[in-house]
Amino acid sequence: MNDVLINKTTSYFQNAFGSSPEKVVLSPGRINIIGEHIDYNDGYVLPAAIDKIICFAFKKNNSNSSRIIAIDFDDEFEIDLTEIPQLEEKVWTNYLRGVINQLKINGFEFKGFDCVFSSNIPIGSGLSSSAALECGFLFGINELFNLNIKPIDIALMGQKSEHWVGINCGIMDQFSSVMGVENKVIKIDCKTLEYEYHEADFSDYSLILFDSNVTHSLFTSAYNKRREECETGLTIIKNHFAEVNSYRDCTVSQVLSLKNEMSEDVFKRSHFVVNEISRVTQACEALDNGNIKLLGQLMLETHEGLSSEYEVSCAELDFLVNTLKTEKAVVGSRLMGGGFGGCTINLIQKGHEEEIKDKLSQLYFEEFGIELKIYDVKIGNGTSLYTKN
Ligand code: GLA
């Protein structure tokens, strides 16, 4: 599947610029097993890079500007690299302007280059196509001009580019896009950025994504608001419990004891966060022990919390999870990523995948008149240079 994309991108480059690219970069999207809305709350998350990617082709052009072509959008832009980038109306270009901005404010020196890219990561499905875009673009410029930026700094600068565009996101997406390893999930400590790889062995279960095929427009504002509510909650907790520095130090009973000090929303968000941090640790142990039923149970609890306490679900996602949670062959199901649309992540007993897919697609269509999209994802490597073998 990715070979087709790579050929398409490199031949497009050849046609547009009349020569072969110097560097070809592959940058993946991500899934997250558990630990949602936890990265910016200093907890642990359990994501992985996937085999859906953006392919970039690059070549230096000996000038001071860059021409960047997005094959999928049938669109392009040119940017003068001697100037500080500004936000523009076309959203897709801003992620790339954001990367150039980061490079400039961090004092990196580079010249003009041409770039073509194309993707098979669905957009707006919660698979972090924007992180793949930022990190792959940055990785390519780093390779082209030997800037010696470390992988972790590529992730951090990618995250800052996303902030520049307007979403105050955590580090999970960019970290997994850059640091992913085939068949491994990454347990990331989002406070210290320490990480461990764990075997992604789901035993008798298949990992399947169901894409609600809806994107709700309130994503950015609601996302940023959740982050603020959590900060407010933490300030209240810290005022009462001096030993608490972040949500990870806090117990459920401490949050419960402060219910009257918090607004209802702030209480619900804080309660979810403390529980979710502990679920990630339990889930990672369950995965290591091959206890996939327990892992699935924890995923269902996460969905319940995201829906009723963190309030980032929507009717479509709740329907997808609620329909599957009574199916014997489904052990885990929950919304994945920021929410308000996008995908659910599911653990389905092997041998029952097709029957569940058919049933859910039909019921979903009957309920909402929307086609369900389905992805059988594999866990793949992080952002890397493509070399023909
Ligand atoms: C988005 C953000 C991430 C993370 C998730 C929710 O994907 O980019 O940083 O907060 O939402 O877990």
81, 113 contact by CB (below 8 A): no
Q: What is the DSSP letter of 204?
A: T
pLDDT, tens digit, 9 for 90 and up, residues 364-378: 999 999 999 999 999
Using N-to-C axis directions, what is the helix angle for 172-179 and 129-144, rounded to 10°? 50
Average pLDDT on 155-162 reads: 98
Nearest CA to ligand 1 atom 10: 37
35, 44 contact by CB (below 8 A): yes
Q: Which ligand 1 atom sits nearest the alpha carbon of residue 162?
A: 8
Give the residues surrounding ligand 1 with Cβ less than 6 Å away.
36-37, 39-40, 128, 169-170, 172-173, 337-338
**Could you tell me which CATH class the domain 2-200+380-385 is placed in?**
alpha beta
Please give the model's pTM, rounded to 2 decimal places: 0.97
- What is 205-377's CATH number? 3.30.70.890
Distance CA 328, CA 324 (A): 9
Instruction: Kindly name the residue from 173, 189, 204, 318 that is annotated as catalytic.
Output: 173
Q: What is the DSSP letter of 296?
A: H
Nearest CA to ligand 1 atom 1: 338
243, 207 contact by CB (below 8 A): no
Q: Is the pLDDT of residue 389 over 70?
A: no
pLDDT at 215: 87
Q: Which ligand 1 atom sits nearest the alpha carbon of residue 40?
A: 10
Nearest to 125 by CA among 341, 375, 299: 341
210, 360 contact by CB (below 8 A): yes
pLDDT at 146: 98
Strand order from edge to edge, sheet including 113-119:
75-80, 65-70, 113-119, 47-60, 23-32, 384-385
Q: Is the pLDDT of residue 217 over 90?
A: no
Chain centroid, CA 47 distance in Å:
8
Tokens of 367: 């309920």
Say how many C-beta atoms besides its own lie within 10 A of residue 18's C-beta: 7
pLDDT at 216: 78
**What is the CA(65)–ligand 1 centre distance, in A?**
32
Q: Is the pLDDT of residue 388 over 90?
A: no
**What is the CA(35)–ligand 1 centre distance, in A?**
10
pLDDT, tens digit, 9 for 90 and up, residues 132-141: 999 999 999 9
Contacts of 250 (CB under 8 A, 6+ apart): 234, 237, 241, 244, 270, 274
DSSP 114-169: EEEEEE-SPTTSSS-HHHHHHHHHHHHHHHHTT----HHHHHHHHHHHHHHHT---
Let me know if 114 is a catalytic residue: no
Distance CA 84, CA 100 (A): 8
Using N-to-C axis directions, what is the helix angle for 264-288 and 219-240, rounded to 10°? 90
pLDDT, tens digit, 9 for 90 and up, residues 175-211: 999 999 999 999 999 999 999 999 999 999 999 999 9
Nearest CA to ligand 1 atom 8: 169
Using CA atoms, how far residue 120 sits from 27, 211, 212, 320, in Å, is 11, 14, 17, 23
Number of alpha carbons in the 13 Å side-chain half-sphere of residue 43: 26
Nearest to 9 by CA among 88, 108, 115, 150: 115
pLDDT, tens digit, 9 for 90 and up, residues 251-275: 999 999 999 999 999 999 999 999 9
pLDDT, tens digit, 9 for 90 and up, residues 300-330: 999 999 999 999 999 999 999 999 999 999 9
pLDDT, tens digit, 9 for 90 and up, residues 238-255: 999 999 999 999 999 999
Q: Is the pLDDT of residue 218 over 80?
A: no
Backbone angles phi, psi at 86, to 5 degrees: -120, 155
Mean pLDDT of the chain: 97
Q: Which of 37, 176, 227 best tests ligand 1's pocket when mutated (most atoms within 8 Å of CB)?
A: 37
Q: Which ligand 1 atom sits nearest the alpha carbon of residue 223?
A: 11
Q: Which ligand 1 atom sits nearest the alpha carbon of residue 170?
A: 9
Domain ranges of the chain: 2-200+380-385, 205-377
Q: Is the pLDDT of residue 158 over 90?
A: yes
Nearest CA to ligand 1 atom 2: 169
How many helices and strands in the chain, by DSSP H and E? Answer: 11, 13
**What is the CA(372)–ligand 1 centre distance, in A?**
23
pLDDT at 219: 87
